[in-house]
Chains A and B, each alone.
Chain A
Amino acid sequence: MKRVIKFLSASFLFAVMALSANLAISADYKVGFIYIGPPGDHGWNYQHDVGRKAVDEAFGGKVETVFQENVPESADAERVMTQMALAGADMIFATSFGYMDPVINVAKKFPKVKFEHATGYKTADNVSTYSARFYEGRSVVGHIGGKMTKSNTIGYVASFPIPEVVRGINSAYLAAKKANPNVEFKVIWIFTWYDPAKEADAAKTLISQGADVILQHVDSSAIMTVAEEAGVYAFGQASDMSAFGPNAHLTAIINGWAPYYVEKVKQGMAGTWKGGEQTFDGIGAGMVIIGDLNDKIPASVKKEAMAIRDGIASGTLHSFTGPINKQDGSPWLKAGETADVGTLLGMNFYVEGIEGDIPK
């Protein structure tokens, strides 16, 4: 037995060593993606992977994409990106906020590799950032939520008190209030992007407090499942989640990264790609997509929702149009005035009417 094992392991090792495959990725243009979780999460990472596959399709065999899942936002991210660059990647999409410092560090070491970082704020000669105006989608679902609630209470499961999330709450609230002046928002902060158990608990708490429409700014489909069981409404986050709650799912705010990824790879191949850019696109550019509307939504409300969507897309409507006061009653936007990008990107206050405090 011992001999057999020895022979097996020796021959195995030998076979392994004798093999010498070509290591570099072989296509003309190579693009790497790193994901914070698995692409099978039906949310954030799934949509980035949809974008990656769109790149695969758009360029046929000329572009090869590679990806790595479950990359922690730590020193590991730096190593993964370095190895991708060493393997010959021409462009790397880092698809989570926490990759920011690692991206900047690796970009310094590989000035010829182009980096695209999602949702960050640091750029360099070979680093650009991109983010979506998800708040535009929240105007549409806020309106639908305001019309659909019977208890006039909308629950909101929020992740971290960062400008992105606060912006979403404000936008949804303004739209819901306009659709239904009696509406009230209850917000629960759970301090995680992805934790199905915590998300479900938060949704149950909100429902027990009388909420019959749940909005979410966390990534799993757990809330949809809870809503379906409880017989209340919810909206898909990042991708269509109707499979998890066919009756509860009113519509979804879908992240549309595909057009952006295809465009950036095209620019990279043509040599027109630029670093230091900060893209912030919404419904108009297809980066935010409103999913199919559930037939439980009355036709009139559907029509209004589509009008809001189309108005935002064409630029005739803005989610933050004055007059709007801040929560403490102080004026923010005058009548007809719209919010500037700077205030939106750093938003750290609630608008008037929302109760409770943003956790500090």
Chain B
Amino acid sequence: MFKLIPRENVSPVLSLLGPLFSVGFTMLIGGILFYFLGVDPFAAIKMIFWDPLMSETFSTYSIPQIFIKGAPLILIALGLSVGFKANVWNIGAEGQYIMGAIFGASFALSLYPLESIMIFPTMVLMGIIGGSLWSMIPALLKVKFNVNEILVSLMLVYVAEQILALASLGFLRNPDGAGFPGSRNLSQYSSASNSELIMGTGIHLGVLLSLLMVVFFYVLLFRHSLGFKIKLLGNSPKASGFSGDNPNKLIFLCLTLSGSLAGLAGIMEVAGPAGQINIDFNVGYGFTAIIVAFLGRLNPVGIFFAGLVMALTYVGGELTQFMLNLPAAAIQVFQGMLLFFLLSFDLFVHYKIKLKGNK
């Protein structure tokens, strides 16, 4: 019935407008969904997108919270975007995020209650190493045996979750915690605490790093030859080979880079806002970051804004839940629609639809 024909000239304007349209459509369809759930759609959408930023009651608290919630999303999405550009699909950032947190926290807690200024930087480094080691598993399997990295990285998320449970119940369990699962609270261990940088806001080092990384990745992708090689590998693997690049090296680099960033996000979160290793430590940043990467058009600056918009839907979504009795699942549907509309809009930007048959 239908046939998709690639467009010869893809309009760059339309391609940039995609994210805006997807946000607009999500508001529209989400509003209809809210209406059928018996909630005033205008009030609900205003509360998700407007009140966290503008209302006197909430904004002083929620604006910094948006940056805090956005930081891990931005960090992970930046790493993923590099791989996605090269057609390397790391779907398991969630697992790398967990392993980064466990590696870093294990290091710091093994030294408890020793105080030293060396603990924090080493712990962060361990977090990065933890994340990158976990992503090296799919990287090695891909490079050596051509195993599908999507499956391996995704499956390793579930392995990481089991290790997380093991850590919270076993080797990292707080000896003073009355037998309950969960490690000591890192935010109460001053040498390891990722404490707030601006009093009263909760803004921590991870937020600052997420901003710096945006700049770093911008330079890497647009001002450095490595960025060119990565894009070349994604667009035309053959040309990449002819130009003398080793695709395996690039694939390995892309995966470990995204793993490192996820690990960094993990250690920042566990030593900061989360505070402790626990069974429920991971809340899906690794998966949500995939939406953020695409919503940001795989562009570092775009990812920055996409991360903030996504964080806004979390913070505003919470408000909507308890102020208007909207179920949590409705907010998740709302977030999922963002990616869905973006991808469908992309389809129309890149392809023409032609009716065939029925002459």
Within 8 A of B (CB), among A14-50: 15-17, 19, 21, 23-25, 32, 38
Chain A, residue nearest B345 (CB): A5
Provide the B237-267 mask, 1 if CB < 8 A to any CB of A, else 0. Answer: 0000000000000000000000000000000
**Among A68, A160, A192, contact of B318 (Cβ-Cβ < 8 Å):** A68
The stretch of A79-87, A126-134, A149-157 that contacts the partner chain: A79-87
User: Could you tell me if A19 and B280 are in contact, using CB atoms closer than 8 angstroms?
Assistant: no
Total contacting residues, chain B, CB less than 8 A: 50
Q: B216 an interface residue at 8 Å Cβ cutoff?
A: no
Chain B, residue nearest A345 (CB): B178
**In the complex, what's the smallest C-beta–C-beta distance from B312 to chain A, in angstroms?**
13
The stretch of A69-77, A288-296, A329-337 that contacts the partner chain: A69-77
Measured CA separation A73–B45 after assembly (Å): 26
**Hey, which chain A residues are within 8 Å of B323, CB to CB?**
23, 25, 66, 87
Measured CA separation A192–B55 after assembly (Å): 39
Chain B, residue nearest A9 (CB): B24
Provide the A1-12 mask, 1 if CB < 8 A to any CB of B, else 0. Answer: 000010011001
User: Could you tell me if B50 and A16 are in contact, using CB atoms closer than 8 angstroms?
Assistant: yes
Chain A, residue nearest B200 (CB): A109
Q: A70 and B28 in contact (CB under 8 A), knowing A75-B273, A160-B181, A348-B179?
A: no
Q: A12 and B27 in contact (CB under 8 A), knowing A19-B43, A75-B274, A83-B62?
A: yes
Q: B63 an interface residue at 8 Å Cβ cutoff?
A: no
Q: B283 an interface residue at 8 Å Cβ cutoff?
A: yes
User: Could you tell me if B57 and A23 are in contact, using CB atoms closer than 8 angstroms?
Assistant: yes
**In the complex, what's the smallest C-beta–C-beta distance from A37 to chain B, in angstroms?**
10
**Hey, which chain A residues are within 8 Å of B197, CB to CB?**
none
Provide the B68-81 mask, 1 if CB < 8 A to any CB of A, else 0. Answer: 11000000000000
Measured CA separation A72–B318 after assembly (Å): 12
Q: A121 an interface residue at 8 Å Cβ cutoff?
A: yes
Q: A59 an interface residue at 8 Å Cβ cutoff?
A: no
Provide the A199-237 mask, 1 if CB < 8 A to any CB of B, else 0. Answer: 000000000000000000000000000000000000000
**Among B169, B283, B328, contact of A191 (Cβ-Cβ < 8 Å):** B169
User: Could you tell me if A97 and B180 are in contact, using CB atoms closer than 8 angstroms?
Assistant: yes
Measured CA separation A352–B272 after assembly (Å): 44
User: Could you tell me if A19 and B42 are in contact, using CB atoms closer than 8 angstroms?
Assistant: yes
User: Could you tell me if B49 and A73 are in contact, using CB atoms closer than 8 angstroms?
Assistant: no
Q: B275 an interface residue at 8 Å Cβ cutoff?
A: yes
User: Could you tell me if B61 and A162 are in contact, using CB atoms closer than 8 angstroms?
Assistant: no
**Hey, which chain B residues are within 8 Å of A17, CB to CB?**
46, 50
Q: B281 an interface residue at 8 Å Cβ cutoff?
A: yes
Q: A83 and B61 in contact (CB under 8 A), knowing A67-B322, A121-B178?
A: yes
Q: A101 an interface residue at 8 Å Cβ cutoff?
A: yes
Chain A, residue nearest B314 (CB): A76
User: Could you tell me if B319 and A83 are in contact, using CB atoms closer than 8 angstroms?
Assistant: yes
**Hey, which chain A residues are within 8 Å of B318, CB to CB?**
68, 76, 79-80, 83
Chain A, residue nearest B181 (CB): A160
Q: B185 an interface residue at 8 Å Cβ cutoff?
A: yes
**Hey, which chain B residues are within 8 Å of A73, CB to CB?**
278, 280
Counting chain A CB atoms within 10 Å of each CB, the highest count among B42, B180, B274 belongs to B180
Provide the B57-69 mask, 1 if CB < 8 A to any CB of A, else 0. Answer: 1100110010011
Measured CA separation A20–B69 after assembly (Å): 26
**Hey, which chain B residues are within 8 Å of A268, CB to CB?**
none
Within 8 A of A (CB), among B3-28: 20-21, 24-25, 27-28
User: Could you tell me if B283 and A9 are in contact, using CB atoms closer than 8 angstroms?
Assistant: no
**Hey, which chain B residues are within 8 Å of A162, CB to CB?**
178-181
**Among A19, A25, A84, contact of B46 (Cβ-Cβ < 8 Å):** A19
**Hey, which chain A residues are within 8 Å of B283, CB to CB?**
72, 74, 76
**Hey, which chain A residues are within 8 Å of B315, CB to CB?**
79, 83
Q: B191 an interface residue at 8 Å Cβ cutoff?
A: no
Chain A, residue nearest B44 (CB): A16
- What 19 additional pairs, Cβ within 8 angstroms, besides A9-B20, A12-B24, A23-B55? A5-B21, A8-B28, A16-B50, A19-B42, A24-B57, A38-B327, A68-B318, A69-B327, A72-B280, A78-B273, A79-B318, A83-B61, A83-B322, A86-B58, A86-B61, A87-B58, A98-B278, A192-B279, A346-B178
Q: Residues on B close to A: CB < 8 A?
A: 20-21, 24-25, 27-28, 31, 42-43, 45-46, 49-51, 55, 57-58, 61-62, 65, 68-69, 165, 169, 178-182, 185, 269, 272-276, 278-281, 283, 315, 318-319, 321-323, 325, 327-328
Q: Would you list the 10 A-B pairs with minimal beta carbon distance, nearest first?
A: A75-B273, A9-B24, A70-B328, A66-B322, A68-B322, A162-B179, A16-B46, A74-B274, A23-B57, A19-B42
